[in-house]
Amino acid sequence: MNLSLVWNIITKIIDICFVWIFFYYILKNVKNNIKMVLIVKGVIIILIIKVISDLLDLYTVGVLLEYVVEWGPLALIVIFQPEIRSVLESLGRTQLLGRHKVLTIDEREKLLTRL
C-alpha cells in the first residue's frame, strides 16, 4: 500500500470520529434540554418550508426564509448563550482536555505559585 493512501484513510477515520463525537454531544444535550428539542424541530420545519418554497418558486417566502436561514444561527447563539456557556463549562470540566482534575490541592497551589 502506498503511504499517501494509508495517510488518507487515517485522516478520513479521524475526521469521521470528530464528527461522530460532535453529533454525540449535540444529541446528548438536545435530549436533556426541552428548549433545544423545540429549536431543532423549528429549524427542521423552516428548512422544509424553504425547500418547498424553492420548488414552487415562491419568491417572497423564499427571500424571507433565506434571511431567516442566514441570520438564524446568530439569533440562536444570542438566545441560547447561557446554555452554550454551560455546555462549554461542562466540556472544560471533563478530563478530556487535561489532568487538572487529578491534581491534589498542594499540587494545584504549587502550580499556581510557579505562575
Per-residue pLDDT, 24? 85
Predicted local confidence at residue 99, as pLDDT: 52
Give the model's pLDDT for residue 13.
92
What does each of the 115 residues of the chain score in pLDDT, given as a tens digit? 677 888 888 999 999 999 998 888 777 776 776 777 777 788 889 889 888 988 998 888 888 888 888 888 888 888 878 877 877 777 666 655 455 556 677 777 777 777 6
| pLDDT confidence of residue 95 | 57
**pTM higher than 0.75 for the full model?**
no
- Other Cβ atoms within 10 Å of 21 Cβ, number: 11
What pLDDT shows up at residue 109?
A: 76
- Distance (Å, whole) CA 3 – CA 115: 44
Closest C-alpha to 69, from 40, 36, 43, 41: 43
Distance CA 41, CA 26 (A): 14
